Amino acid sequence: MTAYLIRRLWQMIPTLAGVILLVFLLFKFFGGDPAEILGGMNATPGQIDAIRQQLGLNDPWYIQLWIFVKQIVTFDWGRSWATNESVVHLFATRLPATLTVMLPILILDTLLALPIAMWVAYRRGSISDRTIMAAATVALSVSFLVYIIIGQYLFGFRLGWFPVQGWSDSVLRNLVVYAPLPVLLAVTAGVAPQTRLYRSFFLDELGHDYVRTARAKGMSEGTVLFRHVLRNAAIPILTNVSMALPGVFVGAFLIEVFFSIPGLGREALLAVNRSDYPVIQAFTVYLAVLTMLINLVTDVLYKLTDPRVVLK
């Protein structure tokens, strides 16, 4: 296991180097001129040149690349071109708001979808199975934006159960007051596709010989489903959860924008609109590193979940 971890961490270095080079080249040679964007429509050529000099854009590209790499290695991303706020401070202050909303969404999505999917898989072909699958198909066919608009109008404006927008410095208040409505709407929209996916995993396992053997030995259906089927379906479930985990740490810009949540998702959208390259570059590399680490942890969990898995 230790040798595998060391080898995987070593393999991340060239992958990360490729991501860094690609991100730099895309912003350097294919993006717009940030000096002109920051200067505005009425900026004079002298003012634009002064901005370029201040941002270091007049330096040769290899010097700019070296500065970019040094920032990544030293975890010093510089400052936002639009707000002059430290990028590290920006990430540290926006991440808690993102986690406050995204963690409950992921947990509730998984905890609700798993038992529903197992139940309908066990009752495959029944009226309840067909009804739930039809409802899930309709639910996932509706855009999440529709859920937000209807949810804000119904639960916020008409019934007044939740505030439509707002945020505070208290994590507890955010969880109790401001997060429930976006979490409720995101879970409502997310349970449907997760249920369909997990149902297919369980149906695949229910068709194997070991299930018939377990039943022939007199095991109860609960033991067969939760001890054998769920355990053998854990690997694709872990894969699906791991694919959703990076989104927990980067936020969902649609939720954060419409509910005025000061998280990373909204900040990334603002950075794109402002052509705030330091923030966008930091966000891209941060997401790449996070995804690689989550994949590594997921591979280790494969081994812990199923001893038959061999890590090479």
The predicted pLDDT at position 206 comes to: 78
Read off the DSSP letter of residue 306. Answer: -
Is 64 inside a domain boundary?
A: no
Is 279 inside a domain boundary?
A: yes
CA–CA distances in Å: residue 195 to residues 34, 109, 119, 223: 45, 9, 10, 21
The answer to whether 34 and 57 have CB atoms below 8 angstroms apart is yes
Percentage, residues of the chain above pLDDT 70: 91
Is 277 inside a domain boundary?
A: yes
**Amino acid at site 210:** Y
The predicted pLDDT at position 26 comes to: 77
Distance (Å, rounded) from C-alpha 260 to C-alpha 163?
11
Give CA angle at 93 (89, 94), nearest 5°. 115
Task: Output the pTM of the full model.
Answer: 0.79
Check whether 86 has a pLDDT greater than 80.
Answer: yes
The boundaries of the domain holding residue 267 are: 87-305
pLDDT tens for residues 138-183?
A: 888 888 888 888 888 888 888 888 888 888 888 888 888 888 999 9
Is 42 inside a domain boundary?
A: no
Distance (Å, rounded) from C-alpha 263 to C-alpha 271?
12
Tokens 């038959």 label which residue?
308
Buried b or exposed e, range 284-295, using 16+ CB within 10 angstroms: bbbbbeebbebb
Is 63 inside a domain boundary?
A: no
Span 100-107, average pLDDT:
88
CATH number of the domain to which 93 belongs: 1.10.3720.10
pLDDT tens for residues 285-301?
A: 888 888 888 888 887 77
Is 105 inside a domain boundary?
A: yes
Q: How many domains in the chain? A: 1
Is 121 inside a domain boundary?
A: yes
Q: Under DSSP, is residue 308 helix (H, G, I), strand (E, B) or coil? A: coil
Is 310 inside a domain boundary?
A: no
